[in-house]
């Protein structure tokens, strides 16, 4: 009888632990949901705005700035590579 009671309690405890772990995984998946929903709502709102509205102008200028920054970084990397190639020749 004691053995049977122990097994029942053990199985209930195991079930509780499994349930908590599964709920934890679901919580992690759902934690990103509000940010995703807000981003989608913001995207829809931005599409509804006129082309010359300040938020749209700001967002478009930010994307252009990002492109320019990437171009500058590529040029800087190319310059550094050229300087590294010339440096050993100058030392010799």
pLDDT in tens, 10-36: 777 777 766 666 666 666 665 666 777
| Pair of tokens at residue 15 | 């079930």
Continuous H helices in 32-53: 33-48
Which tens digit of pLDDT belongs to each residue from 28-60? 665 666 777 778 888 888 888 888 888 888 888
User: How far is C-alpha 17 from the chain's CA centre?
Assistant: 30
45 closest CA partner among 55, 34, 60:
55
If you search the block for the tokens 């500058």, which residue do you land on?
Answer: 72
Is there a contact between 57 and 50 (Cβ–Cβ < 8 Å)? no
Q: What is the pTM of this model?
A: 0.44
């Amino acid at each position: 009888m004691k053995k049977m009671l122990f097994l029942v309690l053990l199985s209930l405890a195991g079930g509780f632990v499994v349930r908590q772990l599964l709920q934890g995984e679901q919580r992690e998946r759902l934690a990103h949901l509000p940010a995703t929903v807000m981003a989608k709502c913001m995207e829809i709102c931005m599409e509804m705005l006129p082309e010359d509205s300040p938020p749209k102008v700001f967002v478009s200028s930010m994307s252009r700035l990002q492109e320019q920054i990437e171009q500058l970084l590529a040029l800087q990397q190319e310059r550094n590579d050229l300087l590294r190639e010339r440096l050993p020749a100058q030392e010799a």
